Amino acid sequence: MVHESIIIRVDELEPLLIDIRRYLHQYPELSGQEINTANYIYKKLQEAGIESELISTDSGTGVIAYIRAGEGKETIAFRADMDALPVMDKKTKSYASKNSGVTHACGHDFHMAAILGTALTLAKLKNELDINIKFIFQPAEEVSNSGAIALTKAGIMHDVNAIFSVHALPTLEFGKIGIKYGMVSAAIDFFKLTVKGAGGHSARPNEAIDAIFVATNILNCLYSDISRQFNPVDPFVISVGKIQGGTATNIIAETCEIEGTVRTFEQDMRGEILDLIKERAGHHARAYGASVEFECCNGTPPVINDITLARLTEDSAISVIGSENIERMQKPSLGADDFAVYLTYAPGMLIRIGTGGEDSSHPLHSGLFDIDERALGLSVKLLSQVALNYSNSKLYLQKWANKVVV
């Protein structure tokens, strides 16, 4: 059974959690620019008397909070990402984004409110905890200049034994919790191709080398030919999200830029795919008398949930919402999350929270994305129970010692 004190505390907090989430949704900030967001979170923690600090990094400003049980105790962490996306909010809700062209279309407002709510809940249960807890509010999850990399380089994981995070899932209805054992999501890498041709008059293309035309041929290659070079049982996806070229409608473009991502589950494939993109882009450019510059940036590795922590989380979820509401996630996602960076320092668990409903089933990264706000209280109850179960982990691990996950 879920701890009675958790239920009482979260039920009291629920209106505040909704207010927090709506404020954050109204005032989203892009990656690396989360100054107001960080200050807001910090203020809420300070008002609750929770030890906390602002931390400045090359990727932006984060917030770290602490509940301490004492030196020599194990430490777990809960992490929330803070950045929004350059997407126009198309909702007509009262809490729609007030920052034009920016919105929380990936649920990071929900993640922050859930982790903040967990801190507010566990602060009241401090005397029942035999572990230290660290709450990490991280900037810049959505970009290659990852806040997770910056924060871990700053040393925030030096004493952490396990780390947990949540992610909104609009394809899973409210009231369901998604548990995935092992591989959760893909590695991600970023690339940029700059095609260089020769400009000219649009009436005389024979006198020019059309960089946009060359770029479209390269794009077709990325989406077709490259996939034929790998075993189809090893999934990966190349997606181009940005093409930019030309200066006027009557001038043949001299340059054209292509920017995109590569996502895969296999570590060995990451370099092979990027090398092939560079090679094939060069071939296509030279075929038309153009040249191409290739740039790439390694992103984050795959997210792989720790089996023991997944068991602990599932057991906690059952006590909160019942076994019938646990969704065993069978397939990993080709989405990426820099939560993976923390997992290179300590085992961890990324939990999927069902946020789907009548008005909240629009996809992630959509301008219509929203959540069923009842998922806030559910998430806080779950994470608080996870903390209590981990605090009693010796008994817990004995309970699971002979259980087999199928």
Q: What is the share, in percent, of the chain residues with pLDDT greater than 90?
A: 95
Beta strand spans in 39-186 (E): 51-57, 60-67, 75-81, 132-138, 162-173, 177-179, 182-185
Burial class (CB in 10 A: 0-12, 13-18, 19+), 49: exposed
> What does pLDDT average to over the chain?
96
Contacts of 52 (CB under 8 A, 6+ apart): 42, 45, 46, 63, 64, 65, 66, 135
pLDDT in tens, 275-314: 999 999 999 999 999 999 999 999 999 999 999 999 999 9
Structure tokens at 248: 């006027």
- What was the pLDDT predicted at 406? 43
Phi then psi for residue 198, to 5 deg, are -140, 125
d(CA 283, CA 363): 37
Rounded to whole angstroms, what are the CA distances from 167 to 20, 105, 281? Answer: 17, 12, 36
The predicted-structure confidence for 315-339, as pLDDT tens digits, reads as follows 999 999 999 999 999 999 999 999 9
In the predicted model, is pLDDT for residue 398 greater than 90?
no
The string of pLDDT tens digits covering residues 101-120 is 999 999 999 999 999 999 99
Alpha-carbon 221 to chain mean position: 29
Alpha-carbon dihedral 358, 362, 368, 371, rounded to 10 degrees: 60
Sheet of 291-298, strand order: 236-245, 255-264, 187-196, 291-298
What six digits make up the tokens of 329? 């996630």
C-alpha–C-alpha distance, residues 265 and 235, integer Å: 7
For 212-237, the pLDDT digits (tens) are: 999 999 999 999 999 999 999 999 99
**Domains of the chain: residue spans and CATH:** 4-185+302-400 (3.40.630.10), 187-298 (3.30.70.360)
pLDDT of residue 1: 67
CB-side neighbour CA atoms (13 Å) of 287 = 11
Collapse the DSSP code of 304 into the 3-class scheme (helix H, G, I; strand E, B; otherwise coil) and give the result: strand
**Per-residue model confidence (pLDDT) at position 395:** 54
397 — pLDDT class (breaks 50, 70, 90): low
- The contacts of residue 270 (CB under 8 Å, 6+ apart) are 187, 189, 262, 264, 298
| Residue-level pLDDT at 293 | 99
Contact 54, 139 (CB under 8 A): no
| Predicted confidence band of residue 172 (pLDDT cuts 50, 70, 90) | very high
Place of tokens 């993640």: 111
Task: Give residue 140's Cα distance to chain centre.
Answer: 9
Decide if pLDDT at 405 tops 90. no
The whole-number pLDDT of residue 404 equals 47
Express each pLDDT in 15-59 by its tens digit.
Answer: 999 999 999 999 999 999 999 999 999 999 999 999 999 999 999
**Amino acid identity, position 206:** N
SS3 (DSSP) at 331: coil
Which residue has tokens 């089996």? 307
